[in-house]
C-alpha cells in the first residue's frame, strides 16, 4: 500500500471538501441557466482567472511536459509556449466583447452575429461537435493520464485502475452538477493552489535526492542542450519528436510565430476566444474583470506553472536513465510514489487529483451548457419564463451526468481514437482568421464560418496524402501541410464570403449596438472604421512581460545569472509599459 494513514486522511478530507462545495452552492446554481453556467455573471475576476489556470492544469499536463523535456530539453516547450501570442490577443482585443455580448455560450454568439437559418444550423452543429464529440475526446485524454497515475501509484492492473478512475469521475460529476460554475470555480481555486504547492514540493524533494545532487548535480549529469531555453537553427526536428535539442527551420519558425497563433484553432486557445476561456470571461462582473481575469490566466499559465514540472522532468532522466523518452511520464509518477515521505505523498496525490478534477469539472459544465443552451433549449424546449429556466437547469444537471457516463467508454478506447483526435485538431488550420474577423468585419457571414470550418478537413487530407508523399520530410519539417491548409482555407472562405449575401441589416445592427466593436463597419453604414492603437501596445508589452518573467524565473532556478538579470530588466520595462497602457485602454 503506497499510502500511510495520514496520507489517506488528507485524500479523504480533499474529496469531502469537493462534495461539500457542491452541496453549499446547490441552491444558488439552480435559480436559472445563467446561474448554473456563468455563476450569475458575478464572479470576481481573480476567481475566474484562477479557474482558467486550474482548468488547463490537468493531470496530463506535468506528464506531457516531462515527455517534452525528455525528447527535446527545456526548449521543447516551445510547442506550447508559442501560443502565448494568440492568448494575449484574446485578452486585450476580445475579452471585453465576450462580456458585452451577453451570450451564455460560444455557439449562441453565432446566431447573434449572423442570424438566419444557416447560423441556426451552425449553432446546433457546433454545440454537438464542441460540447459533445470533441469534449469527450478531451475528457478521454485527461482520463488516460490519470489512469497512468493510478496504475503506477497503486501498482494496479489497468482494469482495476480504470474502475477507480470511474469512481473519481462520478464524484466530480456529482459536485459539478450540484453547484454549476460557481462551485466549479471555487473548487478550481483551491485545486490550483494544491496542485502548484504539490508540484513545487515534488521538485524540491527530487532535487535533494543523492543521485540528483541539486541543480548543480543535475546540470553536471545532463548535456548542456537540455537546458537551452530557445530552439536552435539548423536541421529541424519533425514535430519536435526527434530526441535532441528542439530545432526549427525557417519554415517551421514562421509557422509557429507568424501563423499558428492566429490562423489555427485548437481547444483552449481559440483565436478570438472561445470554449471555457470565453465562459469565464462572460462570468465576471464587468468588462474590466474580463480583461484582468484573462491577463492573470495568460501570465500564470505560461510564466509561473511550467518550471516545477520541467525540473522534475529533467530529474527523471537522471534517476531513471533506463526509461528512455517513452517512459518519462511513468518516471514522473514513480518519483512521487517512491521518494516522498508520509503526508507529502498524500499531498502530492491530492495535487494530481485536484488538477484532474478541476479540468473534468469544467469540461462537464461547459459541455453540458452547449448541449442544453444551444441544442435542447434552442430547438426543443418550448416552455416560457420560470418554468423554462427550471427545465433548462434540470437538463444541465442531467447533461453533466450523461456526459460523464458517455466519457467512460470513450476513455477506455482512447488509444484507438488518438490519431483521429490529432487529425481533428490539425484540421482547424485556417479557421482562426474568420473567428477573429467576425468581431471586426461586417462582411463576414455564416457561410464564411461554415466554409472555414469544413475546408481544412479537405485541404489537410490533400496535403497529407497528396503532397507529403512527393515532398517528403522537408515538406513536413517546414510545416508544409499547415501552410497549404491555411492558404486553401483562406481562399475558399474569402470566395464564399463575397459570393454569398451579407448578414441581414437588422441582425448586424443589433450585434453592433450590443458589442460596439472596433474594425471595418463603415461599409455596412453602422459606424466609422476605428482602431485603438493602445491595445496593440498593451498586447505587445504583455507578451514581452510574460516571456520575460518565464525566462528570468528559469535563469534564477538554473543559476544562469546573466539570463535572469537580462530578462528581469525586460520584465520591469515591459511591466511599466503595460501598466501605463492599460490605464488608458482598460481602466478608462
DSSP 26-55: TTGGGS-HHHHHHGGG-B-HHHHHHHHHHH
Helices 45-56 and 275-283, axial angle in degrees (round to 10): 160
Plot region of 415 (φ>0 → left; ψ -120 to 50 → alpha; else → beta): alpha
Q: Is 258 helix (H, G, I), strand (E, B) or coil?
A: helix
For the CA atoms of 421, 424, 426, 428, the dihedral, rounded to the nearest 10 degrees, stands at -150
Residue 244 Cα distances to 236, 241, 312, 316, angstroms: 10, 9, 18, 16
pLDDT at residue number 424: 64
For the CA atoms of 102, 107, 109, 112, the dihedral, rounded to the nearest 10 degrees, stands at -110
Predicted TM-score (pTM) above 0.85: yes
Closest C-alpha among 171, 131, 132, 169 to residue 147: 169
pLDDT at residue number 348: 79
C-alpha cell at 171: 464524484
- Backbone phi, psi, residue 519, to 5°: 115, -160
- Backbone phi, psi, residue 324, to 5°: 70, -175
The Cα 164–Cα 138 span in angstroms is 19
Closest C-alpha among 195, 202, 192, 534 to residue 336: 202
Burial letters 572-586, b for 16+ CB under 10 A, else e: eebbebbeebbeebb
C-alpha cell at 247: 530545432
Cβ 275 vs Cβ 55: under 8 Å: no
Closest C-alpha among 180, 190, 168, 191 to residue 23: 180
Plot region of 267 (φ>0 → left; ψ -120 to 50 → alpha; else → beta): beta
pLDDT at residue number 238: 47
Which residues, given as ranges, of the chain have pLDDT below 70?
Answer: 1, 233-255, 267-268, 324-325, 414-425, 473-479, 587-588
Cβ 492 vs Cβ 457: under 8 Å: no
For the chain, report the end-to-end CA distance as a whole number of angstroms.
Answer: 58
Closest C-alpha among 35, 58, 10, 123 to residue 396: 35
Q: Is 376 helix (H, G, I), strand (E, B) or coil?
A: helix
pLDDT at residue number 248: 65
- Backbone phi, psi, residue 28, to 5°: -65, -25
Helices 158-207 and 5-24, axial angle in degrees (round to 10): 110
Cβ 106 vs Cβ 37: under 8 Å: no
The Cα 574–Cα 544 span in angstroms is 6
The Cα 377–Cα 396 span in angstroms is 10
Q: Is 234 helix (H, G, I), strand (E, B) or coil?
A: coil
pLDDT at residue number 1: 54
Predicted confidence (pLDDT) per residue in 189-215, tens digit: 888 888 888 889 899 999 999 999 999
Cα angle: 580, vertex 585, 588; to 5 degrees: 100
pLDDT at residue number 499: 96
- Neighbouring C-beta atoms of residue 216, cutoff 10 Å: 12
The Cα 576–Cα 582 span in angstroms is 10
The Cα 192–Cα 53 span in angstroms is 7
Helices 45-56 and 344-371, axial angle in degrees (round to 10): 100
The Cα 382–Cα 126 span in angstroms is 21
For the CA atoms of 357, 362, 364, 366, the dihedral, rounded to the nearest 10 degrees, stands at 180
Amino acid at each position: 500500500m503506497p499510502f500511510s494513514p495520514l496520507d489517506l486522511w488528507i485524500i479523504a478530507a480533499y474529496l469531502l471538501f469537493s462534495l461539500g462545495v457542491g452541496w453549499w452552492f446547490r441552491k444558488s446554481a439552480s435559480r436559472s441557466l445563467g446561474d448554473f453556467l456563468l455563476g450569475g455573471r458575478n464572479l470576481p475576476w481573480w476567481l475566474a482567472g484562477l479557474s482558467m489556470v486550474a482548468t488547463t492544469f490537468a493531470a496530463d499536463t506535468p506528464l506531457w511536459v516531462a515527455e517534452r523535456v525528455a525528447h527535446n530539453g527545456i526548449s521543447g516547450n516551445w510547442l506550447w509556449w508559442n501560443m502565448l501570442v494568440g492568448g494575449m490577443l484574446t485578452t486585450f482585443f476580445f475579452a471585453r466583447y465576450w462580456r458585452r455580448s451577453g451570450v451564455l455560450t460560444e455557439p449562441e454568439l453565432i446566431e447573434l452575429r449572423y442570424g438566419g437559418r444557416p447560423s441556426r444550423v451552425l449553432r446546433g452543429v457546433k454545440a454537438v461537435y464542441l460540447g459533445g464529440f470533441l469534449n469527450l475526446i478531451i475528457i478521454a485524454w485527461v482520463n488516460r493520464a490519470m489512469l497512468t497515475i493510478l496504475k503506477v501509484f497503486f501498482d494496479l492492473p489497468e482494469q482495476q485502475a480504470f474502475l477507480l478512475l470511474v469512481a473519481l469521475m462520478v464524484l466530480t460529476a456529482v459536485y459539478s452538477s450540484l453547484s454549476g460554475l460557481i462551485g466549479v470555480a471555487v473548487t478550481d481555486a483551491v485545486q490550483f493552489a494544491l496542485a502548484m504547492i504539490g508540484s513545487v514540493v515534488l521538485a524540491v524533494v527530487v532535487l535533494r535526492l543523492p543521485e540528483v545532487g541539486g541543480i548543480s548535480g543535475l546540470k553536471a549529469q545532463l548535456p548542456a542542450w537540455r537546458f537551452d531555453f530557445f530552439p536552435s537553427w539548423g536541421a529541424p526536428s519533425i514535430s519536435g519528436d526527434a530526441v535532441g535539442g528542439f530545432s526549427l527551420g525557417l519554415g517551421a519558425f514562421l509557422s509557429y510565430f507568424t501563423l499558428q497563433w492566429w490562423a489555427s484553432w485548437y481547444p483552449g486557445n481559440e483565436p478570438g476566444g472561445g470554449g471555457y476561456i470565453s465562459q469565464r470571461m462572460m462570468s465576471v462582473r464587468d468588462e474590466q474583470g474580463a480583461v484582468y481575469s484573462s491577463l492573470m490566466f495568460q501570465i500564470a499559465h505560461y510564466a509561473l506553472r511550467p518550471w516545477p514540472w520541467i525540473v522534475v522532468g529533467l530529474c527523471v532522466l537522471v534517476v531513471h536513465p533506463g526509461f528512455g523518452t517513452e517512459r518519462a511520464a511513468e518516471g514522473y509518477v514513480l518519483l512521487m510514489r517512491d521518494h516522498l515521505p508520509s503526508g507529502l505523498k498524500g499531498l502530492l496525490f491530492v495535487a494530481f487529483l485536484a488538477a484532474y478534477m478541476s479540468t473534468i469539472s469544467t469540461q462537464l459544465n461547459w459541455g453540458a451548457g452547449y448541449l442544453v443552451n444551444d441544442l435542447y433549449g434552442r430547438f426543443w424546449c418550448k416552455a416560457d419564463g420560470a418554468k423554462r429556466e427550471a427545465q433548462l437547469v434540470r437538463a444541465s444537471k442531467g447533461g453533466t451526468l450523461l456526459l460523464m457516463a458517455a466519457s467512460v467508454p470513450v476513455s477506455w478506447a482512447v488509444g484507438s481514437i488518438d490519431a483521429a483526435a490529432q487529425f481533428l485538431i490539425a484540421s482547424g488550420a485556417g479557421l482562426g482568421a474568420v473567428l477573429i474577423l467576425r468581431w471586426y468585419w461586417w462582411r463576414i457571414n455564416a457561410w464564411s464560418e461554415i466554409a472555414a470550418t469544413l475546408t481544412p478537413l479537405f485541404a489537410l487530407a490533400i496535403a497529407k496524402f497528396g503532397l507529403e508523399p512527393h515532398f517528403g520530410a522537408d515538406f513536413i519539417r517546414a510545416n508544409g501541410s499547415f501552410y497549404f491548409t491555411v492558404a486553401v482555407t483562406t481562399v475558399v472562405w474569402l470566395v464564399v464570403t463575397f459570393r454569398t449575401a451579407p448578414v441581414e441589416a437588422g441582425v448586424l445592427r443589433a450585434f453592433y449596438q450590443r458589442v460596439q466593436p472596433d474594425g471595418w463597419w463603415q461599409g455596412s453604414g453602422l459606424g466609422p472604421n476605428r482602431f485603438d492603437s493602445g491595445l496593440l501596445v498593451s498586447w505587445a508589452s504583455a507578451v514581452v512581460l510574460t516571456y520575460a518573467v518565464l525566462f528570468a524565473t528559469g535563469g534564477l532556478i538554473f543559476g544562469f545569472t546573466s539570463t535572469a538579470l537580462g530578462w528581469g530588466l525586460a520584465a520591469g520595462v515591459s511591466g511599466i509599459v503595460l501598466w501605463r497602457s492599460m490605464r488608458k485602454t482598460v481602466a478608462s
